[in-house]
């Protein structure tokens, strides 16, 4: 749509003729409508005439003056027709079934065809209507119509006739532009310059207030149609969050839900913490975008806000606004509605639309912290979420806004140390004698056979290049650095004439079955294995990753302990497995997970632990100059030790850890007596907030055994709360 040519009064006049245009559109008869419209228009808004003929009666005008006036009238009539076709045609209304497809098509045209107008286009816009060129085009269109041998007209389709018209029009307008007078050429060139400058200035300007208010009025219906269209195409269900300033400057947020359970419950009511965990941080985020990062909502206001059934949740207005917060009615529990819920935006002050229903405000919090908490979808295994006490710090976490962002105020917490009590020993996984996948000997044989078939014919650097291409296709703040660290470890082995890397392989105990399927299909780096149950895959992958760790990093939590400095007498040899059968498998498994879930808090936390682990391995490789020899079982457990079935299982390892726990508690007790804490012991739990964690100790190992970045002041994307 071109530049707006109507004034506010003219817009109101034309809008009043909308119902009559729709009636004419339904009857497919516009003749009487256009005649009546043109007569009324030129009475209310007479066409301006040139200054030299203002005081001369029209019947005394010269032929040139009459032609100029007639041309202006024809141009105005064409503009009026275009206005109604653009604003009142059925396929431009948001309740049209094909609206989304047309909207996407217009968006593609806007992105691909955004350019300045050509000289011929500007010439046509100014001199084509009522000119000899237009008459020539119409004459050629009639005379050159296709005919049969009997000179009878052949019926053309609309597309064929339009194509023939455009060819004739293009040829005639080009000829007319070449034969244009100097005055016409000068006028066209000046108009082109003005058009370029105007387009550049419009790109930097905000939307017009009237246009923005009209868009807000149509937004609920647009969200409803968009969600239905996307559901029809993909079969998915959607929750849409939106927010911004209304016409009166009030910051509001809204949520829209498409999809209900069998009991008629949508996501907002199925998730009891929806307002606290979803809408509250979203409202804070929108206020940051709107320049109200310091605004806080009093807790007293939040207690008066409730839900309205079958409407989208609309957040409360900003405290900077003086408009009162509405008090919607109390919802009726168990109310079964349609499969979607249409949000109703709150009518801003001074609005003209009186048909909007009462919005559903989102209860604000008493503080201004932006709380984000990872939540499991229905059917997910809650144990897959790592505990906060073992979460490494994700560095360079992506900002929620583009550019520099001022985060909301974070609630100050006293500096409390970590709990010094050791973690309880984790019970071993249940043994299933009927499941052959849990048999280490069977898994080792299967993996060996599949690995031999999959790795045949791959050059040392071939699989590395293919893997890097796939791994770098996954996004993540810590993930890219982890990939670079892994690449450095592998290339270090290639440079030291170890093209196959180490000869060891990781254990298959607790390993996700997708890895075996990836082996069976020839290690295809371009196609990921199918992950039907993401929650189960997360749990299996984190369990396997924890099982691969050295004993001094094991924990009862899904993620290993955040220890990245090697304790005295310990090493990383169990993890330093390179080559096509080593750390590559771990990297690919994490990449599949990241592609399936996106930038979820759990994936970000796990990749942060992976990055720090690879950094420790890379530093060890640089210090030693080669891959450390993997210690034997006797060396790890002591010469002369009875190596039985019990000690070789996970249960034996956990039992030994439980037996060693009293020693750690004694060491912790001595340290407490020497240096008593100034605050009571703490308990670290997971929450939705983002808080600081200060110095402390873990399991009696002391601060020197812990990576400095894990106990210094850092922020976790998944969030930690330190409670006394």
Report the number of distinct structural domains present in the chain.
3
Mean pLDDT of 666-691: 40
Q: Select the highest-mean-pLDDT range: 240-254, 387-401, 422-436.
A: 240-254
DSSP per residue, 609-672? HHHHHHHHHHHHHHHHSSPPPPPPHHHHH-TT----TTTTSHHHHHHHHHHHHHHHHHHHHHHH
Mean pLDDT of 225-241: 86
719 versus 285: the higher-pLDDT residue is 285
Note whether residue 347 is domain-resident. Answer: yes
Mean pLDDT of 291-302: 51
Domain stop point among 157, 180, 205: 205
Q: b or e along 99-117 (b: 16 or more beta carbons within 10 Å of the residue's beta carbon)?
A: bbeebeeeeeeeeeeeeeb
Mean pLDDT of 677-681: 40
| DSSP run (H or E) holding 33 | helix 31-44
Calpha distance 490→487 (Å, rounded): 5
pLDDT value of residue 251: 85
Calpha distance 521→525 (Å, rounded): 10
- Weakest mean pLDDT among 60-69, 155-164, 567-576, 669-678: 669-678
Task: Note whether 215 and 161 are same-domain residues.
Answer: no
- Confidence class for position 323, pLDDT limits 50, 70, 90: very low
DSSP per residue, 234-269? H---EEEEEEEE-TTS-EEEEEEEE---TTS--HHH
Task: Note whether 101 and 18 are same-domain residues.
Answer: yes
Q: How many residues does the chain have?
A: 724
Q: Are strands 251-258 and 340-341 parallel, antiparallel or unpaired?
A: antiparallel
Residues spanned by the domain of 156: 8-205
319: three-class secondary structure by DSSP: coil
Calpha distance 131→114 (Å, rounded): 29
Q: Find tokens 């929108």 and name the residue.
A: 286
Task: Note whether 30 and 178 are same-domain residues.
Answer: yes
pLDDT value of residue 78: 87
| DSSP run (H or E) holding 685 | strand 683-686
Task: Note whether 134 and 178 are same-domain residues.
Answer: yes
Structure tokens at 594: 């990241």
Note whether residue 670 is domain-resident. Answer: no
pLDDT value of residue 554: 86
411 versus 110: the higher-pLDDT residue is 110
CB atoms inside a 10 Å sphere around CB 636: 15
Domain stop point among 205, 233, 250: 205
Whether pLDDT at 51 is above 50: yes
Task: Note whether 72 and 147 are same-domain residues.
Answer: yes
pLDDT value of residue 272: 83
Note whether residue 596 is domain-resident. Answer: yes
pLDDT value of residue 342: 43
Note whether residue 239 is domain-resident. Answer: yes
Angstrom CA distances, 336 to 236, 267, 359, stand at 20, 13, 19
Note whether residue 695 is domain-resident. Answer: no
180 versus 493: the higher-pLDDT residue is 180
Note whether residue 678 is domain-resident. Answer: no
Whether pLDDT at 172 is above 70: yes
Task: Note whether 258 and 177 are same-domain residues.
Answer: no
Strand order in the sheet with 251-258: 238-245, 251-258, 340-341
597 versus 441: the higher-pLDDT residue is 597
Calpha distance 604→617 (Å, rounded): 20
pLDDT value of residue 711: 31
Strands (E) located in 129-172: none
Task: Note whether 328 and 231 are same-domain residues.
Answer: yes
153 versus 428: the higher-pLDDT residue is 153
Q: Are 486 and 474 in contact (CB under 8 A)?
A: no
Best CA proximity match to 611, nearest among 630, 592, 583: 583
Task: Note whether 68 and 47 are same-domain residues.
Answer: yes
Mean pLDDT of 353-364: 40
Percent of the chain with pLDDT over 70: 53
pLDDT value of residue 561: 87
| DSSP run (H or E) holding 341 | strand 340-341
pLDDT value of residue 634: 44
Reported as a single tens digit per residue, the pLDDT across 611-661 is 999 988 888 766 655 444 444 444 444 444 444 444 445 555 665 565 555
pLDDT value of residue 328: 40
Q: Find tokens 């819920």 and name the residue.
A: 341
| Angle (CA) 252 280 397, round 5° | 110
Best CA proximity match to 557, nearest among 684, 376, 717, 696: 684
Note whether residue 162 is domain-resident. Answer: yes
The answer to whether the pTM exceeds 0.75 is no
Task: Note whether 327 and 311 are same-domain residues.
Answer: yes
pLDDT value of residue 264: 80
| DSSP run (H or E) holding 721 | strand 720-723
Task: Note whether 319 and 447 are same-domain residues.
Answer: no
Domain stop point among 321, 345, 368: 368
Task: Note whether 471 and 615 are same-domain residues.
Answer: yes
Whether pLDDT at 525 is above 60: yes
Q: Are 506 and 586 in contact (CB under 8 A)?
A: yes
Task: Note whether 156 and 224 are same-domain residues.
Answer: no
pLDDT value of residue 53: 60
Mean pLDDT of 530-548: 90
| DSSP run (H or E) holding 73 | helix 63-88
DSSP per residue, 406-454? -PPPPPP----PPP-SPPPPPPPPPP-TT-GGG-HHHHHHHHHHHHHHH
Q: Find tokens 């040899």 and name the residue.
A: 573
pLDDT value of residue 68: 77
Mean pLDDT of 440-444: 48
Reported as a single tens digit per residue, the pLDDT across 15-39 is 888 888 888 887 777 778 888 888 8
Residue 169: HSE in the Cβ half-sphere, 13 Å Cα cutoff: 15
- Confidence class for position 375, pLDDT limits 50, 70, 90: very low
- Confidence class for position 463, pLDDT limits 50, 70, 90: confident
Q: Where would I find the H helices in 89-247?
A: 99-112, 119-127, 132-143, 158-178, 182-204, 209-234
Strands (E) located in 259-325: none
Reported as a single tens digit per residue, the pLDDT across 113-162 is 456 778 888 899 889 888 899 999 999 988 998 988 888 888 888 888 88
Note whether residue 374 is domain-resident. Answer: no
């Amino acid at each position: 749509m071109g530049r707006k040519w109507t004034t506010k009064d003219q817009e109101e006049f034309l809008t009043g003729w909308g119902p009559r245009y729709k009636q004419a559109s339904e009857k497919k008869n516009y003749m009487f409508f256009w005649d009546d419209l043109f007569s009324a228009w030129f009475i209310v808004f007479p066409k301006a005439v040139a200054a030299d003929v203002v005081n001369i009666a029209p019947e005394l005008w010269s032929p040139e003056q009459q032609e100029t006036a007639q041309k202006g009238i024809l141009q105005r009539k064409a503009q009026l027709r275009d206005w109604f076709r653009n604003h009142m045609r059925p396929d431009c209304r948001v309740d049209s079934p094909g609206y989304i497809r047309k909207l996407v098509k217009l968006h593609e045209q806007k992105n691909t065809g955004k350019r300045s107008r050509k000289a011929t286009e500007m010439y046509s816009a100014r001199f084509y209507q009522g000119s000899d060129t237009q008459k020539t085009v119409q004459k050629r269109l009639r005379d050159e119509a296709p005919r049969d041998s009997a000179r009878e007209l052949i019926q053309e389709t609309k597309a064929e006739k339009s194509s023939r018209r455009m060819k004739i029009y293009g040829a005639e307008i080009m000829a007319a532009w070449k034969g244009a007078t100097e005055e016409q050429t000068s006028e066209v060139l000046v108009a082109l310059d003005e058009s370029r400058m105007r387009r550049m200035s419009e790109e930097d300007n905000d939307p017009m207030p009237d246009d923005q208010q009209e868009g807000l009025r149509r937004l609920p219906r647009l969200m409803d149609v968009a969600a239905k269209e996307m559901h029809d195409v993909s079969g998915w269900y959607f929750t849409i969050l939106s927010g911004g300033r209304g016409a009166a400057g009030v910051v509001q947020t809204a949520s829209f839900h498409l999809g209900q359970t069998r009991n008629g419950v949508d996501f907002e009511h199925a998730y009891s913490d929806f307002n606290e965990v979803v809408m509250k941080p979203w409202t804070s985020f929108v206020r940051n975008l709107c320049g109200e990062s310091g605004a806080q909502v009093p807790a007293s206001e939040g207690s008066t806000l409730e839900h309205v059934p079958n409407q989208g949740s609309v957040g409360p207005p900003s405290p900077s606004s003086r408009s009162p917060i509405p008090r919607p009615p109390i919802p009726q529990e168990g109310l079964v509605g349609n499969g979607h819920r249409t949000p109703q935006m709150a009518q801003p002050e001074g609005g003209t639309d009186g048909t909007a229903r009462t919005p559903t405000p989102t209860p604000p919090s008493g503080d201004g912290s932006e709380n984000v908490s990872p939540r499991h979808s229905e059917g997910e295994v809650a144990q897959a979420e790592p505990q906060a006490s073992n979460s490494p710090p994700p560095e360079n976490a992506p900002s929620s806004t583009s550019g520099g962002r001022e985060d909301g105020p974070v609630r100050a917490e006293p500096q409390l140390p970590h709990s010094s009590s050791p973690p309880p020993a984790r019970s071993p996984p249940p043994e299933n004698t009927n499941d052959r996948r849990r048999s280490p000997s069977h898994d080792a044989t299967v993996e060996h056979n599949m690995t031999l078939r999959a790795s045949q014919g791959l050059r040392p650097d071939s699989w590395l290049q293919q893997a890097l291409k796939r791994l770098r296709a996954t996004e993540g703040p810590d993930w890219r650095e982890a990939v670079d660290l892994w690449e450095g470890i592998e290339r270090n082995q290639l440079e030291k004439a170890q093209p196959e890397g180490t000869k060891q392989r990781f254990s298959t105990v607790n390993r996700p079955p997708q890895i075996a399927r990836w082996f069976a299909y020839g290690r295809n780096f371009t196609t990921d294995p199918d992950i039907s149950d993401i929650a189960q895959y997360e749990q299996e992958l984190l369990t396997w990753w924890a099982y691969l760790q050295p004993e001094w990093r094991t924990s009862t939590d899904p993620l290993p302990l955040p220890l990245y400095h090697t304790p005295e007498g310990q090493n990383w040899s169990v993890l330093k497995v390179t080559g096509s059968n080593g750390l590559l498998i771990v990297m690919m498994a994490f990449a599949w997970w990241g592609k399936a879930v996106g930038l979820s808090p759990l994936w970000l936390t796990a990749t942060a632990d992976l990055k720090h682990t690879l950094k420790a391995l890379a530093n060890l490789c640089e210090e030693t100059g080669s891959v450390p020899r993997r210690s034997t079982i006797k060396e790890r457990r002591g010469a002369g030790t009875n190596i039985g079935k019990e000690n070789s299982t996970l249960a034996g390892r956990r039992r030994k850890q439980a037996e060693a726990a009293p020693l750690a508690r004694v060491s912790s007790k001595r340290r407490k007596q020497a240096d008593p804490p100034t605050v009571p012991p703490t308990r670290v739990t997971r929450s939705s907030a983002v808080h600081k964690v200060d110095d402390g100790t873990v399991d009696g190992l002391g601060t020197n055994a812990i990576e400095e970045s894990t106990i210094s002041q850092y922020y976790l994307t998944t969030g930690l709360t330190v409670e006394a």
